[in-house]
Structure 1
Amino acid sequence: MISKPPGTEARGRFYFISTNKGCKTEIYMYLSAHHSINFADTILKTVHFHFSQTETSFITPVPPLLLPDEEHGMIQEHWQTVNADGRFFNGTVLAGMQIKLENVPSIQISTSDYAHYLYSNANPAATPCRIIYCAAIIITSDNHVLVGEMASSTSAPGRLQFVGGNIELAPDGTVSGEACCKREITEEVGFLFLDKTQEFRPLCIKTGGKADHIGIYYLLRLTITADKAKSAFKDHLAALAAREEMPELVKIHLIELTDVSIKRFCADHDEQLVDYLSPLLTSHLDELLQH
């Protein structure tokens, strides 16, 4: 079993380290339920949260990510295998190259594609495709947090995560995390969730984790209750079905923001949780509750 690193505080299955350099940073080392992992494996799964209410900027123009010809061939072979049924679209994705977290957060990015992203996820030795995504921590007026369950038609069926998706280039070549997050909210749960907004602001940036992707998180407080949110999502699914469109989320979970409810949910769905979900919810409850 891995021993407690010096200078850390044990919290269940996490080791906790905090620093303060420009913005508040929380570092969580996720310990697998399987105690046979070595320390190096654990380090690779470390999740870092950098708290700041300042909007993240992106350095533009955005150059392409250059890959060796041999790797291009391996990516295409992998793509033909995983996309044999044609359910995925090989669109442009933005890969994080460098990130600055002090004062005004900024990210240097390059363009790649979805085939490279899937290949790098399946092959640790591949050139990394460090995806940048946005996510909305949606909280109802009666203090329930919304977690989405991915549909079978997506690349991660059954996975539990916040509403969100990859950051994308706007038609004019600019990049806005806020605009991308609002787009994902509309697509995944419906426009009513933006129409019933009490507060929408940057919360934190996530680095590290199983694939070292970069997450830009926004806090969205609603003026409606959990029951109203469930009803709104049901209406959204019905509207998608009427247009013969596939939903990205098959269902939503609304968990009461209490220590007991959060820990029970995380324990009951441990195998489905995306890497950031449990450490963010269990260790930052005070950040999410409205005071």
Structure 2
Amino acid sequence: MDPLGACGRDLAPSGAQLLDVHRIHLVEGAAPPVPPGERTAMDRIWDEAVLANPLLFDGPVAACAAPGRDGPHGLVLTWARTTYRRYGLRRVPGATACVAPLYTDVLQPTPGGRLLMGRMAASTAAPGRWQLPGGAVEPPVDGAPLDLAALRRNAARELAEETGVVHLPAELALWGVALGAYGSAGVLFLAPRRPAALLRERFAALTAAERARGREPELDRIAFVGSRAALARLGGPGADRADCLGPVVARYAAGAGVSPGSRGGG
């Protein structure tokens, strides 16, 4: 989840791409230094966000610094270590130290060809917004690499934490990459099909367990969509925007669930 809002994760009407990617190479770089004036604005925005939602935390995050193509179906993603606070600079006009989110999403299909969507709960930064299960990528620790295997683990963990649906990371196939007009990069994975009834059962068990512990689930509802029209009927914030969900649903429906990334190396 992006604590400071959805804009970095959206595909804007222009300059956005949904790429058929078969392989990804991740390279660590350095985040640009934050000038004093921008740091003051960044800290103010973060403090205001925390006042509005005390559950936010300024944890470590891997930001996307510079995506680039590596042949027709390859992608190089340069990433940098930072914290969620840095994303507040996207709200500062003319800021020079902006970075964009790097995240993973999971396409969880049913045998009938529909995809699971989750609605963000009232306690999150974007209440009522529908999205694929997923979240921000955390930087590795103890010298571990940030590679495609790490992204698969991140995707599997986010899917389990948000929906209660468990897959081994190796079961998730690289499906594509969403590049946002504002620099965000979302690595999309395709999960094995599961019956909708089972997915509802797992989600209900997860939300009941979370509330029994006194915690509010990140998603308050799930639904299944198989077309852009069905997606639009969900409503909620951003339902009529040209974000990543429409292109993803359309491509999945057109391809009958084929995993483009499974055809290439990893």
| Shared fold per TM-score greater than 0.5 | yes
Letter in 1 for 2:51: A
Whether 1:207 aligns to 2:179 is yes
Whether 1:156 aligns to 2:126 is yes
Instruction: Label 1:29 to 1:115 Cα distance change in 2 as closer, same or farther (>3 A).
Output: closer
Instruction: Label 1:236 to 1:29 Cα distance change in 2 as closer, same or farther (>3 A).
Output: closer
Letter in 1 for 2:45: H
Whether 1:165 aligns to 2:135 is yes
What is the match of residue 152 of structure 2?
Answer: 178
Unaligned runs of 5+ in 1: 1-27, 31-42
The Cα offsets for residues 172-212 of structure 1, whole Å up to 9 and x where unpaired, read as: 2422211111111111111x4316x9952001111124x33
Instruction: Label 1:153 to 1:140 Cα distance change in 2 as closer, same or farther (>3 A).
Output: same
Unaligned runs of 5+ in 2: 1-10, 260-266
Instruction: Label 1:288 to 1:246 Cα distance change in 2 as closer, same or farther (>3 A).
Output: farther
Letter in 2 for 1:201: A
Aligned equivalents of 2:119, 2:58: Cα separation in 1: 23
What is the match of residue 16 of structure 1?
Answer: none
Q: 4+ residue runs of structure 1 moved beyond 3 angstroms?
A: 62-65, 270-274, 288-291
What is the match of residue 68 of structure 1?
Answer: 35
The Cα offsets for residues 101-128 of structure 1, whole Å up to 9 and x where unpaired, read as: 22442211112221221x2343343232
What is the match of residue 235 of structure 2?
Answer: 269
More strand per residue: 1 or 2? 1
Report how many aligned residue pairs link the two structures. Answer: 239
Q: For residues 42-191 of structure 1, what are the structure 2 equivalents within 5 Å?
A: 43=14, 46-54=15-23, 56-60=24-28, 62-85=29-52, 86-103=54-71, 104-117=74-87, 119-126=88-95, 127-173=97-143, 174-175=145-146, 176-190=150-164
Letter in 2 for 1:194: H
Instruction: Label 1:124 to 1:49 Cα distance change in 2 as closer, same or farther (>3 A).
Output: farther
2:31 touches 2:65 (CA, 8 Å); kept in 1?
no
Q: For residues 197-236 of structure 1, what are the structure 2 equivalents within 5 Å?
A: 199-209=171-181, 211-222=182-193, 224-236=194-206
Q: What TM-score do you get using the length of structure 2 for normalisation? A: 0.80
Offset at residue 162 of structure 1 (A): 0.4
Q: What TM-score do you get using the length of structure 1 for normalisation? A: 0.74
Aligned equivalents of 2:12, 2:124: Cα separation in 1: 28
Which moves more between the two structures, 156-165 or 83-92? 83-92
Aligned equivalents of 1:278, 1:265: Cα separation in 2: 7
What percent of counterpart residues are identical? 21
Whether 1:282 aligns to 2:250 is yes
Q: Give the structure with higher Rg (CA).
A: 1
Offset at residue 155 of structure 1 (A): 1.1
